[in-house]
Amino acid sequence: MFRRFVLAACLAALPALALAPEAHAQGGTIRIGMTAADIPLTHGQPDQGFEGNRFTGIPLYDSLTMWDLSAADRPSTVIPGLATEWRSDPADRTRWIFTLRRGVTFHDGSPFNADAVIWNVRKVLDREAPHYDARQVGLTASRMPTLRRAEKIDDHTVALYTSEPDSLLPINLTNLFMASPAAWERHRANTPNAEAAWNAFAAAPSGTGPFRLTRLVPRERAEMARNDGYWGEKARAERIVLLPIPEANARTAALLSGQVDWIEAPSPDAVPQLRARNMVIAQNPQPHVWPWQPCFTQGSPLADVRIRRALNLAIDRDGLRELLGGFMAPAVGTVAPGHPWWGNPGFNIRTDRNEARRLLAEAGYGPNRPVTIKVQISASGSGQMQPLSMNEYLQQDLRQVGFNIEFDVIEWNALFTNWRRGCQDASARGAHAINVSFAAMDPFFAMVRFWESKMAPPVSNNWGHFNDPRFDQMIAAARNAFEPAERDAALARLHAAGVDEALFIWIAHDVGPRAMSPRVRGFVQPQSWFVDLRLPSIQ
């Protein structure tokens, strides 16, 4: 019976080839083609990197502190979310007081309060908690390394404790999404164990976000509907549909054939075709850095600041941007000029090949004696942009200044693992630099883990074993600066010093290109990895 059916179906399909698919009724539904191969986890701590936070974190859930995603023309900063204000306790700098927003309810109707915050901290930090979920720890703990526990002060106030004074905690907390304890308990009552309860929760989650999940087909689609009871500005679109389309060409084809309204990361080569069909290409620099990270130990040519500076000056970032079809912003520091942490570096990173040659000559190298630098790179990877084309371009480009660049191409996961092992480990295979891109919206991830001596392997990502007491002091000062303005000033001094010492070979910032149908209105692409899905609507 089934076969006959299938046969009929196939035959029926043949003569019908010429029929055009009918337009689907829209009704304010935005269909988005993601780059992930699966719907990111929906239980509150998404996987799939920051694309997960972007699509199943921020729209479904809120965190105590949130990113301001409303403007395209200024750096995205931390703003109040489910907490309206916070301060560190002057008597005990490891203790923070957070005042919670009143009148917020979860999608299931249960109230958001201090108990819910404590429950959500315990889900990843308290192994004894009945709802502790090991799977969420890996996705969360490393993004808020100093948080230890939470304590209720009253229904609308909590105290959070850190392992050491850490002024960066409010920024880290953007990664802890608040799931509904009441909804989870209901799932728990119908399931054999906590893990199963979390799986059930993921299928029918409950947060406080501007959208609630209405349908989840793993690996195929997630549908979200507007939360009309949202505490803040409500979403304009009625529904959002998320579709995982990992293949770049398939994404482009899906947009061009009208199957989706918006795609993430179109390939640069498809952009002319997209533009010709009136698609809108959005882009904005992201807090992302695509660098070569130097090895500072003895024997590495990059231990010499003159060679690091020469490299920074020799790179033709505009040419690279052309290679990427314009989808890149030249990086002249970890953050861009104008950012609160920019500072005023004395070393002006630009393309100046003569100055680069002069510095090289000063260091004892020249056209007849090129300096050989071995860089460990990957062929692909999240945030790595187009690593092979870009590195090959740099290799060709730097040859004319007197750099002989060699590559050790390894698998992305291996490269990422090596990053924690350091340049003296056998895994580095004698490389003088490593090409791992990173997110830079949080000072710990942007600077501290690379430049503090105690972050050397195996602790964190100070791959090059950089060790300078001056930098350690500046970092300690930043950690202990609890006034935002004071903290930003300390970070700016740190960043300026880093640029002066050329602690990275800064090459590119990703601009997060996305293409959308002209029917999508009101979309704002902030200077962030994230977007505010409340803003766009469809016509």
Partner 1 sequence: MFLYLIRRILYAVPIALAVGFFCFMLVQIAPGDPINAIVPPDAPGDVVEQVRRDYGLDKPLPVQFGLWLFKVVQGDLGRSLATGRPVWSDLSTAIGNTLMLATCAALLGFIIGCLLGGVAGTFRGSILDRVATTIAVAGVSVPHYWLGMVLVVIFSVQLNWLPAMGAGPGGSSDWAWNWEHMQHLVLPAVTLAVIPMGIVTRTVRGIVAEIMNQEFVTALRGKGLRRLDVFLHVVKNAAPNALAVMGLQLGYLMGGSILVETVFSWPGTGLLLNSAIFQRDLPVLQGTILVLAMFFVALNLLVDLMQTALDPRIKRA
Partner 2 sequence: MSSTTPTAAEAELAVQARQAAVRSQGYWAGVWKRVRRDPVTIACAIVLLAMLLVIVFAPLVAPHDPYQGSMIRRLRGLGTTNYPLGTDELGRDMLTRLIHGGRLSWFMGIVPVALAFVIGTTLGVLAGYAGGRVNMAIMRTTDVFYAFPSVLLAVAISGALGAGIFNAILALTMVFVPQIIRVAESVTTSVRNLDFVDAARSSGAGAFTIVRVHVLGNVLGPIFVYATGLISVCMILSSGLSFLGLGTKPPEPEWGLMLNTLRTAIYVQPWVAVLPGACIFVTSICFNMLSDGLRQAMDVKG
Strand partners, 281: 515
Min dist. Cβ of residue 3 to partner 1 (A): 7
Task: Return the number of the residue (169 or 375) whose C-beta is nearest partner 2.
Answer: 375
Q: How do strand 262-264 and strand 157-162 relate by DSSP bridges?
A: unpaired
Contact residue for partner 2 among 84, 142, 380, 382 (CB under 8 A): 380
Residue 307 Cβ, how far from partner 2 at the closest point, in Å? Answer: 25
Residue 334 touches which of partner 2, partner 1, none (Cβ within 5-8 Å per kind): none
Least separation in angstroms between CB 420 and partner 1: 5
Least distance in angstroms from the C-beta of 401 to partner 2: 17
- Cβ neighbors of 106 (< 8 A, separation 6 or more) are 112, 116, 180, 182, 183, 206, 207, 208
Q: Which is nearer to partner 2, 87 or 275 (CB)?
A: 275
Contact 114, 64 (CB under 8 A): no
**CA–CA gap between residue 115 and residue 393 (Å, rounded):** 54
Percentages of the chain per state (helix, strand, coil), in multiples of 5: 35, 20, 45
| Amino acid identity for residue 449 in this structure | R
Q: Phi and psi (nearest 5°) for 234? A: -85, 160
SS3 call for 68: coil
Residues 264-303 that bind partner 2 (CB under 8 A): 267-270, 272-273
142 binds partner 2 (CB under 8 A): no
Which helix or strand (DSSP H or E) is residue 243 part of?
A: strand 239-244
- We find the least distance from the C-beta atom of residue 282 to partner 2, in angstroms, to be 19
First to last CA, the chain: 43
Segment 393 to 412, residues that bind partner 2, using CB under 8 A: 393, 396, 409, 411
246 binds, among partner 1, partner 2, none (CB under 5 to 8 A by kind): partner 1
Q: Give the tokens for residue 342.
A: 């920019």
Of residues 232 through 261, those in contact with partner 2 by CB under 8 A are 248-249, 252
Minimum CB distance to partner 1 smaller for 141 or for 153:
141
In angstroms, the CA 248 to CA 270 distance is: 9
Residues 6+ apart with CB under 8 A from 55: 32, 34, 40, 46, 222, 242, 533
By CB under 8 A, tell whether 315 contacts partner 2: no
- Judged by CB under 8 A, which stretch of 4-12, 131-139, 389-397, 504-512 contacts partner 2? 389-397
Residues 6+ apart with CB under 8 A from 527: 72, 74, 75, 76, 284, 285, 286, 287
Q: How far is the CB of 102 from partner 1 (least distance, A)?
A: 34
Q: Which stretch binds partner 2 (CB under 8 A): 37-45, 81-89, 96-104, 319-327?
A: 319-327
Cβ proximity to partner 2: between 304 and 316 the closer is 316
Q: Does 305 bind partner 2 (CB under 8 A)?
A: no
Read off the tokens for 113.
């309060």
Q: Which is nearer to partner 1, 255 or 503 (CB)?
A: 255
243 makes contact, choosing from partner 1, partner 2, none, with CB < 5 to 8 Å by partner type, with partner 1
Residue 142 binds which one of partner 1, partner 2, none, with CB within 5 to 8 A depending on kind? Answer: partner 1
Q: Tell me: does residue 163 bind partner 2 (CB under 8 A).
A: no
Residue 242 or 371: the one with the smaller Cβ distance to partner 1 is: 242
Distance, in Å, from the CA atom of 459 to the CA atom of 436, rounded to the nearest integer, reads 17
Q: Does 322 bind partner 2 (CB under 8 A)?
A: yes
The verdict on whether omega for the bond into residue 75 sits within 30 degrees of 0, i.e. cis, is no
Alpha carbon of 405 to those of 134, 331, 433: distances in Å? 43, 20, 10
Give the C-alpha separation, 249 to 133, whole Å. Answer: 37
* Partner that binds at residue 476, options partner 2, partner 1, none, CB closer than 5 to 8 Å by kind: none
Distance separating alpha carbons of residues 317 and 230, to the nearest angstrom: 44
* Short-list 178, 196, 61, CA closest to 131: 196
Binding residues vs partner 1 (CB under 8 A) = 3, 5-7, 9-10, 12-13, 16-22, 24, 37-38, 41, 47, 127, 134-135, 137-139, 141-142, 195, 198-199, 217-221, 243-247, 249-250, 252-254, 256-259, 273, 413-414, 416-417, 419-420, 460-461
Number of residues that bind partner 2 (CB under 8 A): 21
What is the binding site for partner 2 (CB under 8 A)? 248-249, 252, 267-270, 272-273, 319, 322-323, 379-380, 388-389, 392-393, 396, 409, 411
